[in-house]
């Protein structure tokens, strides 16, 4: 099943309106936001673990990123309550589970083979930094080349200048309402703005968002390389 696999067009999805779909293991369900192949390759999803559920030990050839939204996520390496952001690099392996149940935002196969860092960041205790303008606070999570991942908090009434996204931008709204000239996006909304897209964001009531920038241009280059190999 392919979902929102054309990265050249903007996408807005209210994840809370999506149907929960079963995963290969009982007790683990998913709301796919984007999928480029069935059970492999790049995927972005909201994932729900029922209490006491677990997943078999498995590899992540292209890496995995997890933001724990609710409950407690766990694997053989530790326990990660809501607010934790995890990065498992390409080639890593684990057996995830959740005794009380949990809700996750998950990205698969967006890392390069050169990325080797395993990261565990408790965003509830992170060191927030001033943003580019007043009213913005930023908690950096990861930076690799031109790809940057962070949490960004918008104070009520904050307005940003119009700007263009080289390499694209992805946003998942965690709290409040994020806005731009194209619409309003409450908590649970996922946005993907393509390479070289432009907008003028703001937040009337304030919000907290997950942001990833620069990664979509890398996807275009990778897909182009695969296309050339397939036809050569």
Which of 91, 122, 153 marks a domain boundary? 122
Structure tokens at 135: 């009213």
Average pLDDT over residues 95-122: 93
Residues 109 and 145 in one domain: no
With contact defined as beta carbons under 8 Å apart, do 121 and 130 qualify? no
Residue 193 pLDDT > 70, yes or no?
yes
Residues 44 and 136 in one domain: no
Which of 103, 122, 141 marks a domain boundary? 122
Q: What is the pLDDT of residue 39?
A: 59
- Structure-model confidence comparison of residues 205 and 92, the more confident one: 205
Residues 32 and 116 in one domain: yes
- Residue 179 sits in which domain range? 127-218
| Dihedral angle sign, alpha carbons of residues 109, 39, 34, 120 | negative
Q: What is the pLDDT of residue 229?
A: 28
- Structure-model confidence comparison of residues 30 and 59, the more confident one: 30
The confidence band for 74, taking pLDDT boundaries of 50, 70 and 90, is very high
User: For all residues of the chain together, what is the average pLDDT?
Assistant: 90
72 is a domain residue: yes
Global pTM reads 0.92
Percent of the chain's residues with pLDDT above 70: 92
CATH number, domain of 86, equals: 2.60.120.10
- Structure-model confidence comparison of residues 175 and 23, the more confident one: 175
pLDDT digits (tens, 9 = 90+) for 146-170: 999 999 999 999 999 999 999 999 9
Rounded CA-CA distance 34/54 in Å is 23
Q: What is the pLDDT of residue 231?
A: 36
226 is a domain residue: no
In which element (H, E) is residue 171 found? strand 169-180
Rounded CA-CA distance 178/191 in Å is 10
Residues 26 and 113 in one domain: yes
Rounded CA-CA distance 8/154 in Å is 27
Average pLDDT over residues 39-63: 88
Residues 177 and 196 in one domain: yes
């Amino acid at each position: 099943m392919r979902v929102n696999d054309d990265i050249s067009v903007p996408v807005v999805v209210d994840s809370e309106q999506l149907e929960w779909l079963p995963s290969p293991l009982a007790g683990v369900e998913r709301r796919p936001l984007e999928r480029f192949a069935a059970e492999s390759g790049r995927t972005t999803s909201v994932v729900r673990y029922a209490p006491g559920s677990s997943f078999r030990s498995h590899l992540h050839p292209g890496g995995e990123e997890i933001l724990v939204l609710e409950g407690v996520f766990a694997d053989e390496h530790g326990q990660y309550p809501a607010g934790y952001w995890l990065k498992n690099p390409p080639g890593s392996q684990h057996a995830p589970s959740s005794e009380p149940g949990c809700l996750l935002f998950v990205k698969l196969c967006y890392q390069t083979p050169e990325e080797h860092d395993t990261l565990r960041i408790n965003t509830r205790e992170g060191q927030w930094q001033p943003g580019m303008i007043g009213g913005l606070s930023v908690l950096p999570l990861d930076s690799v080349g031109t790809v940057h991942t962070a949490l960004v908090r918008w104070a009520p009434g904050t307005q940003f200048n119009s700007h263009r996204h080289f390499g694209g931008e992805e946003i998942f709204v965690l709290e409040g309402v994020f806005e731009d000239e194209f619409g309003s996006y409450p908590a649970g909304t996922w946005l993907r703005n393509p390479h070289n897209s432009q907008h003028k964001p703001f937040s009337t009531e304030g919000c907290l968002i997950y942001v990833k920038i620069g990664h979509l241009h890398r996807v275009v280059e990778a897909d182009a390389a695969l296309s050339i190999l397939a036809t050569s």
